[in-house]
Each structure stands twice: as C-alpha cells, then as structure tokens.
Amino acid sequence: MMKLYLSFLFFLVLLSTKADGQRCLSDTMHTVISKPTKEVETRNPLLQLPVVVHLVLPQSVIIEDQQVYNQINALNRDFRRHNSNLNTLPLTLQALAADTKIEFCLANIDPDGIPGIGITRTTTSIENIGIYNSLFSANDGGKSPWPSHQYLNIWVCEMPEDILGYASSPKEAGDATDGVVINYRYFGTLGAHTPFQMGRTLVHELGHYFGLAHPWGTFHDECEEDDGISDTFPQSGPHNECPPREYKMCDDANPSYSNYMDYTPDCCLAMFTKQQAAIMRQNIYEYRAQLLQNPAICHELQDDIPISLYPNPATSLCVISWPEEEKIEHIEFYDIAGKKISQTSLHQQSSQIEICLDPFPKGLLLLRLVTDDNKYYIHRLYHH
C-alpha cells in the first residue's frame, strides 16, 4: 500500500507549507492497528530487532559508518527511556513515559548468510529518489530490500528538504516497500540539519512502523479525532516549535509537546507513553513477529562466550582467545563489504591464536568463529 500512497501524498505536501506542520508523509497511512491485550501488556522480554540501513545517495553525499552507529544508539536511547531530557519534563509526564523494551541492532548476517555490518551503499543519479518507487528497486537506480519479514529496512536518501521521512504500517509487513525512508539531512546525530539533529526523525517514523498515529489523528485543526490512545493528550494539530508559541492542546490543563509522535523539533521530544509502548509491542507480536525469529542475525559474540581480542583496535598483531571448553574449529575473516578474506583452521585443543594483520585491509574486519558443532559467533576487529 505504501507505494500506492507515495506519489499522491507527495503532491499533498507540495500544496502545503511548513506552517501546516508537514513533517512526514505518514499522515493518512497509519491508524492504531490493535489495542494491547493483557497478555502482551504483561510480557516483559526485551525485543531486539535486526536493522539494515540502505544508503542510497548521490555521489556528492557521504554518510560515514559512524553516523549510522550514532543513529542506532539514538534509537536505543529513546526507545529505552535513556534520554537525559526526560528529566526536564513535568513529573506528571515523566510518570507516563515508557521504556518500550524495544532495541535495535545492525544486522550481522546478510540474507545469504554472509557476515556484514548491516549497511549497504548505493550511488544513484536520480534526484530526490526518496519520493519515487524506484528507491525500492536495484534495477531502477535504488536498492532492493533485504527480506522485510526478517529485517527492518531503513532507506536513507535524498528527498525535498521539507520532507523528513515516511514509513510503512504494520499491515504492510513483508511488502517490498515495507520499512522506513529518511531524508539524509535528518539522519543520525553527526552533521544532521537543525532542528532535527538528534536522530528523532527515525524515532518518529518507527512509531508509525509499529502502528502509532500522530496525537491529533488524521485531520488538523479540530478536536473531534485523536490517536485513540488513552494516555496521550488530545490535540488539534502538530506543534512545530520548541517550545511552541501556540499550544494545540484540546485540554488546556495538559499542555504537552514532548511526544515522539508530534512534529516538535528534536530537542523538545522526550517520550513515548506506556500505552504507546504497549501498542507498539502488540503490533510487533501480531504483525512483525518474524523479526524476532532469528536471534543469530543480531548475534553478539561477547553475549555468549567471553572472547578476547587484544589489542582492539590493532595495528599488526592481534591475539584472539576463548574458553578452553569452547571448541572453535576455524575462524573466517571478512572485509567491510562482506568479502571473505581468509580462513584459519585450529586444533581442537587450542584456546588462543595470534593473527598477523599485515596482509589484511585497513578498517573494520569481521571475524566469524565457527565451532565443531557448526555454531558461530561474530566479532568486530578494527585494523589501523
């Protein structure tokens, strides 16, 4: 459905202005999909979702890996209620703010089983490709998604400056266009354009991806409709300033402009409510459960066995060690593009190996440690 809406919504944006509060193209595409059941509300586990970031950019635009890492950190900061500006809110709002227990990690394994860092790079000559369906197709100058039922696909691309992003809804789970699209100007926290420079454009759009509506619902300048959520305050439209000169609240006793689903500049956004968190989790279980089915995609070696890489970063020599009871059969080495560089076989009694890095390329290396029962662990090594 997203591709059917895209061109139509873009023309609506061209007819509107910044004053109208158009921050994303998700206005008419989302409603709250389902209310949380008691069963879901009492579930407590941390939900970790594998992310792939597709950088589809003109040759003149460069986004470094670190900017992607900072954006993922910003997501986890806000979805886990670790943002420091939460403490600046009134106590009544702080009490409503939720730790969603949703986390994001860059995928360590691509769809072909090859270790990687969850980032792809495509150079495109299509101006403002983010407003065209060609974004989602490698044959048309964009980047085809990784299987969207297994990965959260995020496309970072060029769009008109006034459009920050858009997202698919839970009911579009598994579609070829399922995921989130972000204007490169507002991605990450390094060099992003103010006032959306704290990574919260993607936080907002992921709210839509998990089924949240804007607090005012679909229509502006009325109090007849809202997002259908009991612990968000009714408002007639978006806030576009920080702090706003004019409140859009339908209840003057509860001024609030800090919800991530509002249009407020990043420095004033601070919270999802508890019911918003419950609804997002409900929609993950109901529509996007397959994102949770393959924990190896987000596999981090140090969470399973205590591996030591010393030094890391390393210049010419690195010592890799692991517990004696862990039977590592061989170690595979990959470069940042996922190309296999080398493989080293080990004796079963080994628990340590010295690796000379001189023949290896500089930069990030991915190590895949494979056990005798075909388990594997991924670790990152930085070669200076």
Taking the C-alpha atoms of residue 262 and residue 68, their distance in angstroms, rounded to an integer, is 24
Please tell me which residue in 127, 205, 222, 241 is annotated as part of the active site: 205
Taking the C-alpha atoms of residue 119 and residue 108, their distance in angstroms, rounded to an integer, is 10
Token pair, residue 270, equals: 């601070």
| Of 103, 36, 30, 39, residue with least CA distance to 278 | 36
| Of 151, 383, 160, residue with least CA distance to 288 | 151
Contact 144, 136 (CB under 8 A): yes
205 is catalytic: yes
Contact 200, 76 (CB under 8 A): no
Contact 183, 157 (CB under 8 A): yes
Token pair, residue 37, equals: 């059941």
| Three-state DSSP state, 97 | strand
Token pair, residue 254, equals: 């509860």
What are the φ and ψ backbone dihedral angles of 57, each rounded to 5 degrees?
Answer: -135, 155
Question: What single-letter DSSP state applies at residue 308?
Answer: E
- Give the count of beta carbons closer than 10 Å to the beta carbon of residue 220: 17
Q: Is the dihedral of CA 277, 283, 284, 285 positive or negative?
A: positive
Contact 377, 298 (CB under 8 A): no
In the chain, the DSSP E strands lie at: 47-57, 102-106, 119-123, 152-157, 165-167, 180-183, 308-310, 317-321, 328-334, 340-345, 352-356, 363-371, 376-383
Give Dmax over CA atoms of the chain in angstroms. 72
Nearest-Å Rg of the Cα atoms of the chain is 22
| Of 91, 104, 5, 41, residue with least CA distance to 280 | 41
Catalytic residues: 205
